[in-house]
Each structure stands twice: as structure tokens, then as C-alpha cells.
């Protein structure tokens, strides 16, 4: 798996993960519980959005469209 994004808000991380999954791209969050418990807002332990390496390009492109 490869990291494609970091989030300091576990809610934003889950929204991004859910959007990828809804688009057919498998995604998981690493460190989301730590982020929410131990100061994700402080940048101490961001939630990391992970996808399979074969999905990296399409996942990054999809996430880029969410910002528009």
C-alpha cells in the first residue's frame, strides 16, 4: 500500500476514504484513531490515506477533482 494523502482531521480523512471507495477505488486509513485521540489538529499524528500501488494514479486524480 502507498500513502496518497495525510489529514489532520479524522472526519476529512474518512470523507476522502469514503469518496474513493464509492468511486470503486479501495482505500484504508492508517493512524486515524491516533490522529483523533492524540492531536491530529496539532500535526502530531495525521491520519494517512492509503491505496494499493496500482490505484495510486487514479486515486490521486480522483482526489484532485474533489477540490474543484
Residue 17 belongs to some domain of the structure: yes
Output the pTM of the full model.
Answer: 0.82
Residue 58 belongs to some domain of the structure: no
Question: Domains in the chain: how many in total?
Answer: 1
Residue 6 belongs to some domain of the structure: yes
Given pLDDT bands bounded at 50, 70 and 90, which one contains residue 29?
very high
Residue 66 belongs to some domain of the structure: no
Residue 13 belongs to some domain of the structure: yes
List, in sequence order, every residue forming a beta bridge with 5; answer none if it has no partner: 49
As a whole number of Å, the end-to-end CA separation of the chain is 26
Mean pLDDT of 6-12: 87
Given pLDDT bands bounded at 50, 70 and 90, which one contains residue 9?
confident
The whole-chain average pLDDT of the chain stands at 86
**pLDDT higher than 80, residue 30:** yes
List the domain range (segments joined by +) for residue 28. 1-46
Q: In 1-68, which ranges are E strands? A: 2-7, 27-30, 47-51
Mean pLDDT of 19-46: 77
Amino acid at each position: 500500500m502507498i500513502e496518497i494523502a495525510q489529514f489532520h482531521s479524522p472526519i476529512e480523512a474518512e470523507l476522502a476514504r469514503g469518496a474513493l471507495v464509492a468511486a470503486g477505488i479501495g482505500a484504508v486509513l492508517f493512524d486515524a484513531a491516533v490522529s483523533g485521540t492524540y492531536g491530529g489538529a496539532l500535526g502530531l499524528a495525521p491520519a494517512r490515506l492509503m491505496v494499493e500501488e496500482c490505484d495510486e494514479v487514479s486515486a490521486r486524480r480522483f482526489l484532485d477533482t474533489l477540490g474543484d
